[in-house]
Structure 1
């Protein structure tokens, strides 16, 4: 994989991680419902997939 493509994947990963952290900051632990927890799990799954793609492309 060329360096520009790898940088694009890393930037995408950074964006998804930022989205995850923003979502995590907005959730109130005492009142979190199942939908919010599912959303966090989905974001983590997306992050994991993107990291695997980056690792496999190297």
Structure 2
């Protein structure tokens, strides 16, 4: 994995990039061939993204 990011702007950019990647995967997913494993993987990605957001949010609240 990469190094920890502490700059608020870089953290926000990270979240935006991850969300855009997720949306690209959703767009590319064929609903006719997607299986439960694909859906589970997408849910894990969203859970990871939410955890990262919560971690960044704590950093942002501390810096106020």
Tell me the alpha carbon deviations over residues 5-41 of structure 1, each in whole angstroms, 9 at most, x when there is no partner: 0111111101110110011011111221122112211
Question: TM (normalized to structure 1)?
Answer: 0.79
Matched length: 55
5+ residue gaps, structure 1, are none
Q: Please say if residues 13 and 47 of structure 1, whose CA atoms lie closer than 8 Å, have aligned partners that are also in contact.
A: yes
5+ residue gaps, structure 2, are 1-5
Question: TM (normalized to structure 2)?
Answer: 0.73
RMSD: 1.4
Aligned with residue 23 of structure 2, among 18, 21, 24? 21
- Matches of 2:31 and 2:16 in 1, distance apart? 24
